[in-house]
Structure 1
Amino acid sequence: MCTSHAQEPCEAAQAGAGRRSFLRATALLGAAATASAALPSASAEAAAAQATSAAWRPDTAGHRFTLAVMPDTQYLFDGPSIDKAPVEASLRYLLEHGGEKSRNAENIVFLSHLGDLTQNGAAAEFAAIGEAFELLDRRGVGYSVLAGNHDVKSSTTDQRGSTPYLDTFGPRRFRGKSSFGGASPDGYNTFHLFRAAGREWMVLALDWRLSDQGHAWAKEVLAAHPTTPVVLTTHELVVEDDSLSAYGQQLWDRLIHGHDQIFLTLNGHYWPAGRATRKNAAGHDVHLHLTNYQNRYFGGAAMIRLYRFDLDRNVIDVETVSPWILGRAAKGLNELERQEIELSGDADRFSVDIDFADRFSGFAPVPARPARPASKVLVRDTAAYWRFDGHADGTAVSGTVRDLSGRGNDLTLVTVGGGTLGWSSDHHPDQPGHGSLEFRGFKSPLKGAYLRTVDGAPLNSATFEDGYTLEAFYRLPADWDPAHHAWSGLVSRTGTGGAAGRTGDDPDEPLATLSLSNDREPQWAMRPLNQEGIATNWGQETPLETWWHLAVVNDGTHTTLYVEGCPVVRNPKAKAVGITSVGLPWLLGGYEYGGKIDQILHGRLGDVRIVARALPVSSFMNH
């Protein structure tokens, strides 16, 4: 950070940076005794013993992991006033929370220090912080450091030669670490590789000031790892919200803007914390974050940022905590510690939405899953299988759609009000067949087209007493309107409860229907052989313009509805055996009420399969 420095006056930009008022965390204090039990212990010896015994073994396959960030610690290592306890508390936190076997597992995979480790760059200061980082060295924890303007002569670039920083945190320290990728010839720039969420990631740690040689080296590293997403760390880049410093702009122009792999940058140097977002040359967002707390109590107390990546939710949740203060909570905190125990302002606790697959698609596209032949989908006891690939987009469906199970459950076209049914190549990414049917149903006046099984098809009379699995893929368009499109059936069995002598509930309802409610909730409503009334399974609202997979599974006793392979909450507990039949056809895209067509699907329907037994989730078509 640019405070008064013997080598360099404070930069004008800092004078205007301003300070944010302290945040009070009194709610946390009320639970301090409880919190301290799950966080670093008050005793340094006990914490060290726990850290030594717990295995630091990050989960490299799971879709959630944490990158820890430690900004400017310079005031803790300032000449005669050296206090390494806060840094050691933060490092022990990583050890206690990092491994998958830890009772407090965060799955912390890496730590990045953002520079200004020390105040004066003196050998004694570096000896102290170097000793603190031995906590990580002894356990093989992956981490990176870089030089800030207080660690080296600030008027120099990475070509400055030997310094106490380089003696302490040069490449020799990292050789042999599994995450260490290499260093520039001068030793001041390094790159580190770690595995998380089943792929390789890079932290590119750059010096306070890159020389031309440094820029060339960084570009060579990126070129050598063309499919690896990169977090770039450096001491100076963002100066305040939505603004880069002059050097930060240069770094953006010369390196970041043209390299799509760099999706996140982290820097310290200035305060208060801030964020910026810029579009790179590929048109993708790059998130640029400033984090620095040296202006706060106890020089920031070695606060750490936790970047929690969640690739299932496509988000990075960010939190800022002080393990040193948290660890002291059981003993009682002073007034200033109570204000710093955890920061909750917009710049310190926030979420970043990133569709990781889409963001990385320009340099590391996820290969599309290839189509699978019908023979791979025809599992034992398949009663019917229909798929809709192999046709030109937009062309109209005509003639017969064959049942690929070979059991004769072919489909014929039914049009209403002059409606049409079209072929589409759009499909669920995990669908066996790469095609779908595009239904264009409308409620009033009723218009559209749907498919029905031929008269005499074996499926028409099947009752599935021993169980069944019905699967379908579907996607609703942006113009789907509940006033005109609700309660259309994806797959349904015709014939009414009244016709079957089952008068419980509404006797005009069909014998079975997998439909979509006005809130786009999938519903399986049917009359089992052992019930007078209707048994219903309900799913949750499914968003538009998204492909979904549904599966209804009956094991001969109970029925479970799955959305994307996940069981829904509203699955009835009552015993349900088979599906009542009066020998009438099944419909795709149509729904009958009172024995007459009442609604037609508005959306796309992909592969549909019916199996005469219960299948495990691992055997669903989307697996």
Structure 2
Amino acid sequence: MSTTEQHENPGRRTVLRAAVAGSVAAAATGAVAAVPAQAAEVSGGRRFDTDSPRFTLAVLPDTQYLFDADSTDPAPLRETFRYLVADRSEANIAFMTHLGDVTEHGTEDEIRRAAQTFRTLHGKVPYSVLAGNHDIASSTDDQRGDSAYLREFGPGRYASMPTFKGASPDGYNSYHVVRAAGRDWLVLALDWRISDKGTVWAQGVLDAHPTLPAVLTTHDLAFADGEGSARLSGNGQRLWDGLIRGNDQIFLALGGHYWPPGRTVLRNDADNDVHIHITNYQDRYYGGAGMIRTYGFDVVRGVIDVETFAPWFLSRDPARRTPLEAETVELTGAADRFSLSIDFDDRFRGFSPVVPPKPRPASAVMPRGTVAYWRFDASGMTTAPDGGPVADGSVVRDLSGHGNDLTVGRLHSSGPEALTWSPDHHPGQPAHASLRFDGGKGPDRGAVLRTGRRAPLNSEKFLRGYTIETFVRLPEPFEGDHSWMGILSWEGRNGDAGKTTGWSPLEPTCSLNLSPERFLQFVVYPHRQDADPTSWSHAVPVGRWMHVAVVNDGRRTVVYVDGSKIARNPTAPSTGIATLGKPFVLGATQFDGEFGQGFYGWIGDTRIVDRPLRTRDFLTPFD
């Protein structure tokens, strides 16, 4: 899988939402007892959401010039920590990781002052810290033994954090399991010079958590040129060869130590991308002023949005910022603000494949008031091989038991390819099957599924409201002229129902269609009002499944796409549907009693309920 990168200039994003909690790790890795994961947690009075698909990882690089003998000034770092605490809920900040060189000389006094400053954050946002060469004797590795750093930033500091799962026996390497976006993520915090023993320990952590995507943090990883293009340092090459390249879980590796910042992408042994980033601003005004970098994960969009800014300067009145403060408050160059495009499911497939949900039985998705429910697996019809034609006269049973069975028929002289069976389906669809319609204009090709002459649905008025749901996928590429093709409808002319307000008295009383711009159009002639309130969506996508729901509460109609209410829903009163006793149809819309073209794409499970449903009660629930 190839990931791509792009530089953006999005302005000040609202940083996202996330959370932490963990799962119990193997005792062999030195795990501490875990706190059970939950959908929302409160830490220091700040809520964060472990199930939101958007969360933030905050990264804090070299702060050494803020703790430099008698030049110490912890104020910028305290403000950074206040920002993270205050913004945790809105930004959904899951975790903060420090990249080493907390202090300049690693003296007892510097380390103690730094540790005291971390009290602003402690217990409110979980975090990790690792040793840089300025925090310890730089000629040593993680087998150095006791130090002022270890006494303040060793395993004892993290023991109360639910994310902390263990440390190496020497105490200089640790790992956390962070709960965010509905899954666990591994954060490895490795010493500035990890020993062979430390590498064995880190490999053991990865082996004990084989399905967790991992972020590796260390102090010395890579360096960059003036254009932001990075390459591995000597120590980084050692980490790459000894740990990173052979563990596909590690998709992001972060280091400090060098400036300027930069990044590169390397391919690991599984032929997947690993993003290598340098983050360090100690050369900037005021030693970087506690500047942080935020990694805003969005697993729905498949993107990580990266920003760099200084909360200490951000907190000041813009009119009172000095020129250097104004220059440093936010960095917007290509090395400091950018987006990574990552298909997370595909990138993690090799070690944590997505397990598709099992089909749900019809009985599990027929709430009170279900009038009709059709699905195209063996529970609803006689299936065919993938791509095999569904013959005219085939019946799709109404699983609600109300007798609204659908019968297949082709339009005009359409051939077998006009309607075929497919195992393709929306990931959240109860049945794992669909029908592929190959309709189009001229020569009026397509297929339809229609209720029988005496089906109760033909005359149902829905005076208490209704919910009509279906799953739809448009082909990619979307070829040909398919403007105004119908997805579902009731036959008959609205003029025959006494309606006078519409575009034409010859269009049906209720239909869901697609405009030339690929906007969904739901037009209904209510039973009670002489009106034709019409909803319009945005341009819907091609090449992927979507869920469409039309919900009427007896007063007005609202259309949802993928659980999101569209903008153009009319407020005009709308009570019921002016049905005429004519068939309900999947796959086309009539005009003046005739089908001019058929639907082009896939249609999955379709359900009609005689009352309004909440989004969480849809065929695929949306909370």
TM band (smaller chain): 0.7 to 0.9
Contact 1:491 1:514 in 2 (8 A): yes
- SS at the partner of 1:599? coil
Displacement of 1:331 = 8.8
Which of 468, 471, 477 is the equivalent residue of 2:469? Answer: 471
Contact 1:419 1:440 in 2 (8 A): no
Residue 492 in 1 paired to residue 489 in 2? yes
Contact 2:85 2:124 in 1 (8 A): no
Residue 258 in 1 paired to residue 242 in 2? no
Structure 1 counterpart of 2:79: 89
Displacement of 1:368 = 1.6
Which of 384, 390, 393 is the equivalent residue of 2:386? Answer: 393
* Shift in CA distance, 446/253, structure 1 to aligned 2, threshold 3 Å: farther
Q: Distance in 2 between matches of 1:192 and 1:140?
A: 16
Structure 2 counterpart of 1:121: 106
Structure 1 counterpart of 2:192: 208
Structure 2 counterpart of 1:580: 578
Contact 2:44 2:124 in 1 (8 A): no
Displacement of 1:87 = 1.9
Q: Distance in 2 between matches of 1:333 and 1:503?
A: 65
- SS at the partner of 1:130? helix
Tell me which amino acid in the other structure corresponds to 1:301. Answer: A
Displacement of 1:280 = 2.7
Structure 2 counterpart of 1:418: 414
Structure 2 counterpart of 1:427: 425
- SS at the partner of 2:595? strand
Q: Distance in 2 between matches of 1:552 and 1:376?
A: 21
Contact 1:54 1:96 in 2 (8 A): no
Tell me which amino acid in the other structure corresponds to 1:119. Answer: E
Residue 409 in 1 paired to residue 399 in 2? no
* Shift in CA distance, 435/79, structure 1 to aligned 2, threshold 3 Å: same
Structure 2 counterpart of 1:48: none
Consecutive unaligned residues of structure 2, counting only runs of 5 or more, are 1-10, 13-42
* Shift in CA distance, 568/333, structure 1 to aligned 2, threshold 3 Å: closer
Displacement of 1:328 = 4.4
Contact 1:238 1:276 in 2 (8 A): no
- SS at the partner of 2:489? strand
Contact 2:533 2:570 in 1 (8 A): yes
Q: Distance in 2 between matches of 1:604 and 1:225?
A: 39
- SS at the partner of 2:486? strand
Deviation string, structure 1 residues 197-238 (Cα, Å, up to 9, x no partner)? 333222200111222211111010111122222211011223
Q: Distance in 1 between matches of 2:285 and 2:455?
A: 78
- SS at the partner of 1:571? coil
- SS at the partner of 2:326? helix
Q: Distance in 2 between matches of 1:531 and 1:163?
A: 81
Displacement of 1:140 = 5.7
* Shift in CA distance, 616/330, structure 1 to aligned 2, threshold 3 Å: closer
Structure 1 counterpart of 2:535: 537
The TM-score, its normalising length taken from structure 1, stands at 0.85
**Aligned length in residues:** 566
Deviation string, structure 1 residues 92-123 (Cα, Å, up to 9, x no partner)? 3223333x4xxxx4333322111112223333
Q: Distance in 2 between matches of 1:59 and 1:458?
A: 45
Displacement of 1:302 = 1.6
- SS at the partner of 1:226? coil
Structure 2 counterpart of 1:132: 117
Displacement of 1:501 = 4.0
Which of 299, 302, 306 is the equivalent residue of 2:294? Answer: 306
Displacement of 1:492 = 1.0
Tell me which amino acid in the other structure corresponds to 2:402. Answer: R
Q: Distance in 2 between matches of 1:494 and 1:168?
A: 76
Q: Distance in 2 between matches of 1:503 and 1:564?
A: 33
Contact 1:460 1:581 in 2 (8 A): yes
Deviation string, structure 1 residues 386-441 (Cα, Å, up to 9, x no partner)? 11013331121122222222222222222233333111111111111111001111
Q: Distance in 1 between matches of 2:163 and 2:464?
A: 54
Q: Distance in 2 between matches of 1:92 and 1:247?
A: 34
Displacement of 1:356 = 3.2
Q: Distance in 2 between matches of 1:609 and 1:437?
A: 15
Q: Distance in 2 between matches of 1:387 and 1:509?
A: 27
* Shift in CA distance, 134/466, structure 1 to aligned 2, threshold 3 Å: closer
Which of 165, 169, 178 is the equivalent residue of 2:162? Answer: 178
Contact 2:477 2:543 in 1 (8 A): no
| 4+ residue segments displaced more than 6 Å | none
Q: Which region of structure 1 is more displaced relative to structure 2, 532-541 or 298-307?
A: 532-541
Contact 2:58 2:293 in 1 (8 A): yes
Deviation string, structure 1 residues 28-67 (Cα, Å, up to 9, x no partner)? 9xxxxxxxxxxxxxxxxxxxxxxxx962454434333322
Displacement of 1:564 = 1.8
Q: Distance in 2 between matches of 1:471 and 1:57?
A: 34
Q: Distance in 1 between matches of 2:95 and 2:475?
A: 42
Q: Distance in 2 between matches of 1:57 and 1:303?
A: 24
Contact 2:438 2:446 in 1 (8 A): yes
Q: Which region of structure 1 is more displaced relative to structure 2, 525-534 or 469-478?
A: 525-534
